[in-house]
Chains A and B, each alone.
Chain A
Amino acid sequence: MKRKISLSINGKPYTDEVEPRLLLIHYLREVAALTGPHIGCETSICGACTVMLDGRAVKSCTMFAVQADGREVVTIEGLAANGTLDPVQEAFWNEHGLQCGYCTPGMIMAAKQLLADNPNPTEREIRHGLEGNLCRCTGYQHIVNAVKSAVAKAGV
């Protein structure tokens, strides 16, 4: 029994009939044809699927698409406005905060949430703020540098 959902993704309206069991990550990737949010574990551990739901970072692999009905989703694709990178994206680039890039969209969304909650975090706060997102390439140090650098750019 499919259900009709309507939601906004990166400012665009979407309406689709979906199975109630369809995961939000599969909706975003298979139905809305996005490539930014990734699937890494399906158990809410790795955070590669992190997106913003009504302004809060969530792991889209462990919620259903129907739970996003009537809500607003922002993915990594929605960050760069008119071709200008978000300062956090720019900082990840400048500081080499990624290698294979697979965790990066989720990591950047988690970093956005962290900075929204705490615009001037300490290194310890950055590390704890990102502990729900796994990266196997960088050892996290350049990611920490990227967040620090985004803070410095914002002039907080």
Chain B
Amino acid sequence: MNRITLSQKILLVFLLLTLATLGLGATTLTSVARLRQLNERTSHIKGLQVALNRLESLQAELSPATVEKLQSEIDSRFAAVHSISATIEAEDLDHDAVFHEQLSKIMRLTENYRKTLHELAASFEADRLFAEELPDRQYDLYTSLIFLPTRERELDAMVLDFLALQDQAFHLRSPVRLGAMRRVLDKVKDAGVHQDLLVPMRELLARSEANFITHLAILDQRNFLKDTAENCFQFTEKAISNFTAQTGAAQQRMVLLAGFFVSASVVLTVLLWWVSNRYMGRFLDGQHRAIEAIEAGRFDYQPEVGSNDELGDLARFTARMARQLGHSIQQVTGSEEKYRALVETTDTGFVILDCQGTVRDANDIYLRLTGRTDIEEVIGRNVREWTVAGDREATDHALALCTDRGGVRNLVVEYGAARGQGTPVEVNATLVGSEEGPLIMALCRDISDRRRAEEALAAEKERLAVTLRSIGDGVITTDTAGRVVLLNKVAEELTGWRQEEASGRPLPEVFRIVNEKTGASCENPVEKVLASGQIVGLANHTALIARDGRQRSIADSGAPIRDQQSRIIGVVLVFRDVTGQHQMEQELQKGKRLESVGLLAGGIAHDFNNILTAVLGNISIAGLTLESDPPRTKKILQEAEKAALRARDLTQQLLTFSKGGAPLRRCTDLAAIIRDSAGFVLSGSNCSLQLDCPADLWPADVDPGQISQVIHNLVLNARHAMPEGGSVAITCRNVAAGDPRLPPSLNGDHLLLEISDSGSGIPEEIIEHIFDPYFTTKKQGSGLGLAVSHSIVRKHGGHIGVTSSPGRGATFTIFLPVASTRTLPQQQRTDTAGIPTGSGRVLILDDEEMIRRLASGMLQQLGYEPVCTADGQETLTLFRRARQAGRPFAAVILDLTIPGGMGGRETARQILAEHPEARLIVSSGYSNDPILADFRAHGFCEAVAKPYRTRDLAEALHRALLDAEGEGRDKQPKEQIRGGGG
């Protein structure tokens, strides 16, 4: 297929348009020529018409008189007509058949006209000749008549009548006259007239008849000429009309042709436009589809190459370009996919913004950073929306920086989540150009972990610093030259050097250590560590001499500081003040000593206590029995009871000292106890009490009786230390956990109780022994007061210490635990108006016969029905039988220790297993037995320690049974003792 270029096609279009224009012009010229020809022909026809008119007028003039004269004129006018006809015929160039036919008719008619006109002329000539000869013939006839040899009058009349008829026939052109002439002639002939007369008459008649026929011919010829002329005129008129019509038709045709050509030109133009439009449209549509295909990513689309020209080349080029573009895009897409994958898989948020901060695109990480879940919540929105309020100004500034300087680095802002917690983000942004204008591409990294790490690091540093500061040991680091690098707070306190003062100084200058026994300087531990490369400890009895000269016993160790390559870059010394530890160790030794002493005293006191129970109980029973006896006996019994009670108190103190006697702790108002006890001791003395207790003093978790005893002992000692009088200062403080005043052995919140006197003080050499039992400097002292106080405080988990300077009095410092609640219970009411009594059966288990009888007697005294057993198994049997018999025991009093048998604890377990509602009371001579202190935990309702009085037993029973009647066994016992009769 030959290639037709676009230029050639355009040329073809213009050629077609030019041809259309030429056609239009040619048509116009042809039509004008045709019109001109028609006009000329019409003009000639009109000339012919004029000539015919002139011919017709000539014919009208034609008469016998004029015929001779007009002959030449006729010929000339016919020549003119023929000349015009020939001219017209010659002009019939277009071979118009209709016109030719009409012209032929005209020519034929004019020829007929000419012939007829000549015939008419001939007729007229004949008529003229007849008219000319007529007088001669009439004369001849008349002379013939005259010269007849014989004439008759009748003949003359007939001849004259004949002549008259002839004259009439000639002038009237009447056949009747001719008929009359014939009849006259017949009469003349019948008359036998001479031939000389008949011949002229016959000739005249014949000539007259011929003249009449000529006349008829003239009439006919004239009619013919008239008709012919009329027809000629009609034909010429028709021809003119035809020409006019042709002219009009030609004009119309011209207009039509012009219109046609114009229309054709328009149509051609439109057609060419349509073809061009279709051609270009198809090309453009193809390009459009190509672009759509390219836009849709179909780079391998089949190009519509409609033409083998430049546009086809362009379409092919577009297709080729599309394929190359597809290839490039594939590469770009691959690359983009890689980068997209990189962007999507990286833990870094990626976002594209415009310069106003509106998000154009973002990856999932960025979406998560914003705290949104749907990308639509981010795209098209401004970053300010999820930037926390405090960082928006920084964000705006960063956007401005990006716009002005092309980027921003390490901007840290916090993105507030739409829901939930915000995220700290580090932003690095760069301004890039794009088709849409400058865009900001930003990488946003979640620095939560880093921040946490930083915070953790900071916290760690802080903690390390705090730790370093908080370490109870002193820490000093040095470099390898032995110069101080760091001191912690403890080290600062112990050495008396501040960090900034000590830094860079030689260690011996700051850390002066000596043997506390000999006072000799110790070897520099840094040098030892550097020399050995190992951890080294200080020798015992090393003392640190502080900057202010104070000396403290320290325990120390030195260790090399190594870097990652295990190279020693310094030395760390850790040392602590072990002065207190030494004291505690001494105290511990003292405690152990006291404990061994107490163990002995406790055993003695227990046995002695049982004895005293019997003694005291019997004295009590005797006193009740002898209530109505004479006062002397009762007084004796009362003295005996007092002695027994002092013995019991003594044994109780021994027991308390020995095992401490488990304190029965309650939430206690310490200040009240102090006021009661101290006030009681100092009442009536020359010493005053200075009590300093804050209003918000925490309640103490103590046994009020034991603590009261401690205060009693200490205040009593203080009073004894000031025989000349003075003041005893008692201070109470809340000491929270961690308070440095707390001894190292104590944890948690405590109450600090300091009791100071202004006495002579305690000599240093005895101060170590003041808590030993039976150690006293007083003549009447038992030597158990401070020992018992020490024991009580320890049993409370507290601490007791003493500081004293000679001549400046002594101060006892006591730490006591605080109650779990910070509010004191309602103040207990005590009613000692009477001993409560009761009723019901009470089962008693005790291995001591003496105790069983004593308890039985007390119970009977109180109104109960006692049943005694010495064995736990027997107790169980009796308890079950009683219940089976329908007479259950109201309460059971169980002794804990039954040598060789089931004790009270096991017996109680089995009873409660069968009858949980049983009311059990524990009793023991070991007042420090833990079960007594926490009897409810072991299922007992009450506890009563031996030796007990009737009142003690009555109140215990009363509380136990009252609980059973009232709130049940699981509830706390009523602290209120109800009074009973008797």
The answer to whether A and B come from one shared complex is no
Q: A residues within 8 Å of B by Cβ?
A: none
